[in-house]
Chains A and B, each alone.
Chain A
């Protein structure tokens, strides 16, 4: 654990030194919580990647089923849960699942959202109208219930299908954002210049419009991962997300919560992990927004 923390610190320090030279880099680290957020993320990503090294026990290993709920100690860093599994080890492996689901789902959402937004904003007219009405419908649907229904329909849903579902219901906001960005970019002179050069719609969208819209997409992506993770945690807590015994932070809370009064640690630590990561993502997203905003260039 200490090793991972040190590594995370080193990563943040190196990054800071590297980007200090550029104006956006300075703006990023001027944010009071940006460095801290980055550290938290680096820490959790490190333990997720190095899980077998960091975790003292396998995630499903039941240490002594006769004596569950042991409090945190030197042997069991964060205690053991009602099934006598080491909470720290499960937290480490759970980081893989929770962070992975958040990142992949956001990637799916950002890809679809960007594509839909770009097409709607660039072609306008009936294409725009049709797609945006679709997005209105999507935004009006209560997402958690759609997911609950889908999960209920397919009993024992596979992990990849869950990720896909979370992603598929999460692109509406991104598409609105990208559309707005494209609407303003398509009127810029360099877009007219590209068309005068003989570039087709695809080329104009992918080479000239979207790269200029990258900053807001990245920011909304960073902020969106947190949302995706919360959604996964919620579903898993309800027992409809990642199926036990595979550890995810959501189902870890579920495993321990009925013993909250006598063994607070098995629910509290995964809960803390979720809160920390989501706050870190928000801090980094905010700092990125400031760093990538070209209007700040003059300041």
Chain B
């Protein structure tokens, strides 16, 4: 295995809540790696800590109330991002690691033209002149497939549709050719047809520019189409981690299983529950009070005594390849006969 581009080890990002009523352990010991050029899917329901994880990597967590606990470790190309000076950090943001946000409607500054905003990173990091930056912005608009880039460069965000704005966001992020792009639910706010276009665009740009992409989503369909590997998060922890084909063929964590079962499919008749779409019962618990034992046990159809008492570690599921290729945080791995739901 080559040296990873990004290595996150035991990341803990906690938030102190108002009135001192407790600490929200939004991200609680997350570890994963991103290889150069690969697409890593980060999957989970809302409130699992996906976004906090990505914001922690760029150290954009608002402090206070948030803080990254000592002992956490985020290494990018061999440098620990958590110990960098603000100046060094700014040199990485937007230049080496770029991020695109969920809401293209609110992530663009309403009072500047899209050209100004695309050019901004180039001006900040590469000290381009205004004219050169403008040329660059037009180039980027063409790259992300916006027609009439010469005209569009002078438009304001409110003159564009959601899909176009998301393309502009991508253009902004890619202006400096980052090595890692963090895409936080880049398609959630868009129509399905536009979603497909944006994902195709990301795929194409990734191949052209050779960057790694961290794709954060709650949509397994998006992951199946784009990601090489998948990390499934639940309640601030990684619960399963596997290459995409393996995960879809053999989901081992009951949570992953539930997520997959709740994706509507056209190719297989919905056999379970009299033709109704499956859902995972209950909700992600509050981050101030994770359940004892396995954090998924209140919603798990297989849970038994051990799950309530003891928190499972990440266990190797084997299944071909090197150790650590497919890991699962579930006691079922030690006792596979229990994989039959309670009546």
Chain A residues close to B by CB (< 8 Å): 125, 188-190, 192-200, 203, 207-208, 211-212, 214
Q: Does B169 reach chain A (CB closer than 8 Å)?
A: yes
Judged by a CB distance under 8 angstroms, whether B103 is at the interface is yes
Q: Can you list 11 A-B pairs, Cβ within 8 angstroms, ordered by A? A: A189-B101, A192-B60, A196-B93, A196-B101, A197-B121, A197-B173, A198-B91, A198-B94, A198-B121, A200-B86, A208-B109
Q: Which are the 6 A-B pairs with shortest beta-carbon distances?
A: A198-B94, A197-B94, A198-B93, A196-B99, A189-B106, A189-B107
How distant is the Cα of A208 from the Cα of B109 in the complex, in angstroms? 7
Instruction: Tell me the bound Cα distance from A188 to B107 in angstroms.
Output: 8
Indicate if B125 sits at the interface (CB-CB under 8 A).
yes
B232–chain A nearest beta-carbon distance, Å: 25
On whether the beta carbons of A193 and B125 are closer than 8 Å, the reply is no
Q: Which residue of A lies closest to B87 (CB)?
A: A200
Q: Which residues of B contact A190 (CB under 8 A)?
A: 106-110
On whether the beta carbons of B93 and A197 are closer than 8 Å, the reply is: yes
Which of chain B's residues 87-140 have a Cβ closer than 8 Å to chain A? Answer: 90-95, 98-99, 101-103, 106-112, 120-121, 124-125
In whole angstroms, what is the CA distance A214 to B112 when docked? 13
Which chain B positions have C-beta within 8 A of A193?
A: 99, 101, 107-108, 169, 172
Judged by a CB distance under 8 angstroms, whether B58 is at the interface is yes
A196 to B172, CA, bound (A): 11
Determine the distance from Cα of A190 to Cα of B108 in the docked complex, in whole angstroms: 5
Q: How far is the CB of B18 from chain A (nearest CB, A)?
A: 15
Are A192 and B101 also in contact (CB < 8 A) when A197-B120, A203-B124, A208-B109 are? yes
Q: Is the CB of B60 within 8 A of A196?
A: yes
Partner of A198, one of B64, B90, B110: B90
A219 to B103, CA, bound (A): 30
Complex-state Cα separation, A188 to B106, whole angstroms: 7
Residue pair B112, A196 in contact (C-beta under 8 Å):
no
* 16 further A-B pairs in the complex, CB-CB below 8 A; given A200-B86, A212-B111: A190-B106, A192-B107, A193-B99, A193-B107, A193-B108, A195-B60, A196-B60, A196-B93, A196-B101, A197-B94, A197-B98, A198-B91, A198-B93, A198-B124, A199-B120, A212-B110
B125 and A198: CB pair below 8 A? yes
Say yes or no: B124 contacts A196, CB within 8 Å: no
B residues within 8 A CB of A196? 58, 60, 93-94, 98-99, 101
Query: Which chain A residues lie closer than 8 Å to B64 at the CB level?
Result: 125
Residue of B nearest to A209 (CB): B109
- 8 A Cβ contacts from B15-67 to A: 58, 60, 64
Closest to B109 in A: A190
Please tell me the size bucket of the interface on B: 20 to 34
Q: How far is the CB of A189 from chain B (nearest CB, A)?
A: 4
Interface centre among B92, B94, B172 (most CB of A within 10 A): B94
Task: Give the distance in Å from the alpha carbon of A43 to the alpha carbon of B102 in the complex.
Answer: 51
From B102, which residue of chain A is reached at the shortest CB distance?
Answer: A189
Q: Which residues of chain A are near B98, meaning CB under 8 Å? A: 196-197
> What residues of B have a CB within 8 angstroms of the CB of A199 in the complex?
90, 94, 120, 124
A199 to B86, CA, bound (A): 11
- Min CB distance A293 to B, Å, is 14
Instruction: For B58, list chain A residues within 8 Å (CB).
Output: 196
User: With the chains together, A208 CA to B64 CA distance in Å?
Assistant: 22
Residues on B with C-beta less than 8 A from A212 are 109-111
Give the docked Cα–Cα distance between A194 and B125 (Å): 13
Instruction: Give Cα A214–Cα B109 distance, bound, in whole angstroms.
Output: 14
Docked complex Cα distance between A195 and B124 (Å): 11
Nearest Cβ distance between residue A83 and chain B, in whole angstroms? 53
Most buried by B among A125, A194, A211, A214: A194
With both beta carbons as reference points, the residue of chain A lying nearest to B91 in the complex is identified as A198
Cross-interface CB contact of B103 among A189, A195, A208, cutoff 8 Å: A189
Can you name the residue of chain B whose Cβ is closest to the Cβ of A212?
A: B111
Most buried by B among A193, A195, A199: A193
Q: How far apart are the CA atoms of A199 and B101 in the complex, in Å?
A: 16
A43, B128: Cα distance in complex, Å: 47
| Contacting residues, chain B, for A207 (C-beta < 8 A) | 109, 112, 120
Q: How far is the CA of A194 from the CA of B112 in the complex (A)?
A: 12
Evaluate contact between B106 and A198: CB separation under 8 angstroms.
no
How long is the Cα–Cα vector from A257 to B192 in the complex, in angstroms?
Answer: 77
B87 to chain A minimum Cβ distance, whole angstroms, is 8
Query: Whose C-beta in chain A lies nearest to the C-beta of B55?
Result: A192
CB distance from A129 to the nearest CB of B (A): 13
A194, B120: Cβ atoms closer than 8 Å: yes
**B58: nearest chain-A partner, CB-CB:** A196
Contact residues in A for B173 (Cβ distance below 8 Å): 197
Q: Which residues of B contact A197 (CB under 8 A)?
A: 93-94, 98, 120-121, 124, 172-173
- Distance in Å from the Cβ of B277 to the closest Cβ of chain A? 31
The CA-CA distance from A110 to B252 in the complex, in Å, is 62
A211 proximity list for chain B (CB < 8 A)? 109, 111-112
Q: How far is the CA of A190 from the CA of B158 in the complex (A)?
A: 14
